[in-house]
Amino acid sequence: MASMIHRLQRIVQEVNRAPGIDRALVLITESLTRDLNADACTIFLAAKDEPGVLVLQACSGLNPEIIGKVKLKPGQGLIGAIAARAEAMNLINAPVHKKFMLVPESGETDFPVMLGVPIIAHRDVLGVISVQRVEDAFNEDEEAFLTTLAAQLATSIERAESQDRFSSKRATHMIKGVAGAPGMAIGVALVLNRGVAFESVPDKKTDDVEGELKSFREAVRKVCDELTEQASLMRASLPEEECALFIAYAQMLSGGSLIDDTEQSIKAGNWAPSSWRETVEQHAYVFTRMEDRYLAERANDIRDLGLRVLRKLMLEQSAYIDFPEQTILVGDEVTATDLADVPIECLSGVISAHGSSSSHVAILAHALGIPAVMGVPNLPVKQLDGVNLVVDGYNGSAFVNPGKSILTEYRQYLKEEAAIEQNLLELKDQPAITSDQHKVSLLVNSGLMSDYTPSLRSGAEGVGLYRTEIPFQIRDRFPSEEEQYLIYKDVLETFKGMPVVLRTLDVGGDKPLSYFPINEANPFLGWRGVRITLDHPEIFVTQVRAMIRASVNANNLEILLPMISGKAELVECLGLIRRVRAEIEEETGRQILLPRIGAMIEVPSAVYQIEDICALSDFVSIGTNDLTQYLLAVDRNNENVADLFSSLHPAVLKAMIQIVQGAAVSETPVSVCGELAGDPLGVMALLGMGIDSLSMSVGSLLRAKKVIMSFSYEELAELLQQALTMSDSILIRKMYAARLDERGLGGLIRAGK
């Protein structure tokens, strides 16, 4: 088993290092012929321009002149049958099978024993791998090996094909992910890398060879010094042999091929980080290919050493980043910290290989009014730095090296979008009232000081969700009570006379704190929200003290408790809040008004306890992002299941209706602060339930108001009943979108009018 796993890893690593699909396929055929003692190996891949057709792309042991010439229609021949059935076929005498089709001049009749397996990714059959022998049937272990390898190679083949598509710096390509935040942008890609992964180090050329050499040598020197110091410290408590690894690392950096090869690459005009990346990967690859397991494991030592130097090197480089005027931030996994690194006046868009529309960074992009495309499979990050891009956050796509026609089209779209925004500004001072005179409160989600002025200018009626975790995330320690007090006082006074809902600290999941690490196998079902702050009441009490002190003169504070999963947590939070109020009253000698306290409904258990929760709360706010995640069992950060995530899913709609009905028993107000509240289609559904308080990103507010003013409560209630008869969210979205189009409002949800 260990040998099988090692062989699998070696083949996949070889393929992942291949510069393109052709070389990758040659490596696969050569490796399989060797590892399975086969006499021939073929790889058929799906044709890009002919649906269902398979084309022979590589072979070993057969006539190489047939490569690219053999094409099989759906179900044709044994290869076509394997693809059509999407399952393996293991034959002792393939030529006698009824589906066998002889390819003239291939030489395959010499190899009657055949094993073929499909290559499948995300339900699509990408191709078929087959191996053949003169004699001796392929056994179960060999079949298992090939099936396992095909499953692992699916992603590698997609990645290699992606690299091929982007190898031309001039050709236009479209990439497709999921819509993360609406809007459009034309700009230049910038790849940020903090030295945490070689895969995200972009390719760059340099004119400053001496400067790059200096940065590289300085990074190497710092790591050498650290390693020597670590070895000295460890000698006091560990045997000499345990310290030897650090000495060996330092010696590897003192000279030799690792250093020489990197400097040669820099002198050839490549910047230091990509030169170091290539050298480390090449040296690690040499060890990976070794049959001796001990020596093969040394590849990990090379990569570990490489990352140590890379981190220092990226720190050296980060001070000299030249941000394009229209920066499109691109990364393997763009983070909130990455967003903060780009000057706000330069940030125009985001493209991330990982994440979904409900990822924390997508929500922040939405708040900033920045279009985002998330979860782009096989995004060739390191090839994109400095490349021209068009980002379409409405449909989750982007164009790389856009041609003249695409640029003309999107410039027109941007003009039309600007015209729509200008028309929407006329609504800012008008109340959000349906055509049959139902008033809806529109508030904003915030957490950034830059939101304040736009929020007031948009006609927001207050802050429905202030994300207090953002001030925590941008620090390297917990903010003090006084620091928090000043932040909360600022927002409460800015929106004086309007409600301001401050959510208590909501970290964990995809919102980490660098100085408070939480390592969990399943963080979204783990220690987050009030679970953390109740386990650490000192954090909760400090924050609530700052909130209540800040509200003394403004008297517009409302406190929202995240991740409430049942009555007991709510009771405990309320007890602490009342204790804090009493302490401040004692300290100041004045009576303090207890703020309205609400519970965030985002955990399914809270839906079923809604009446008990409402009996203790002044209001409840539905967090549709997490409620959807938990109801549908879909990780909202996982691009592999991003297409399954939809807050318009019938189950989510029915859960929200249950919340509204349960809250009505005690006449508890219900608001929605999740991303659905800012989606024009979501607004239609929520109003249909009778919800009349919505909180959203400031950029969505006037669009939501336009929708509200264009429909009657009665019509939206009828549409909701239609939606509840439908089986999936796709049909529901189409129905609501069609009704928007009838009103001439299609430009609110897509590029163009």
Catalytic residues: 360, 673
Q: Is the dihedral of CA 568, 574, 576, 579 positive or negative?
A: negative
Residue of 301, 310, 312 whose CA lies nearest to 278: 310
DSSP states of 288-302: HT-SSHHHHHHHHHH
347: burial class by Cβ within 10 Å (0-12, 13-18, 19+)?
buried
Residue 533 neighbours by CB under 8 Å, 6+ apart = 504, 505, 539, 540, 543
Element (H, E) at 490: helix 481-494
Task: Confirm if 202 and 384 have CB atoms less than 8 A apart.
Answer: yes
E strand residue ranges, 448-534: 463-467, 500-503
Which token pair is 577? 């809040």
The tokens 């669009």 sit on which residue? 703
Neighbouring-strand partners of residue 41: 60, 131
SS3 185: strand
How would you classify residue 375: left for phi > 0, otherwise alpha for psi between -120 and 50, otherwise beta?
left
Q: How far is CA 752 from CA 395, 406, 410, 419, in A?
A: 12, 13, 9, 10
What's the CA dihedral at 660, 662, 664, 669 to 10 degrees? -60
Q: Can you tell me the distance from the alpha carbon of 310 to that of 62, in angstroms, rounded to the nearest whole number? A: 44
Task: Confirm if 59 and 67 have CB atoms less than 8 A apart.
Answer: yes
Which token pair is 43? 């790889």
Residue of 629, 631, 626 whose CA lies nearest to 608: 631
Which token pair is 305? 């050493």
Residue of 157, 147, 145, 158 whose CA lies nearest to 82: 147
Task: Confirm if 12 and 153 have CB atoms less than 8 A apart.
Answer: yes
Question: 441-446 and 463-467 as β-strands: parallel, antiparallel, unpaired?
Answer: parallel
Residue of 444, 638, 613 whose CA lies nearest to 524: 638
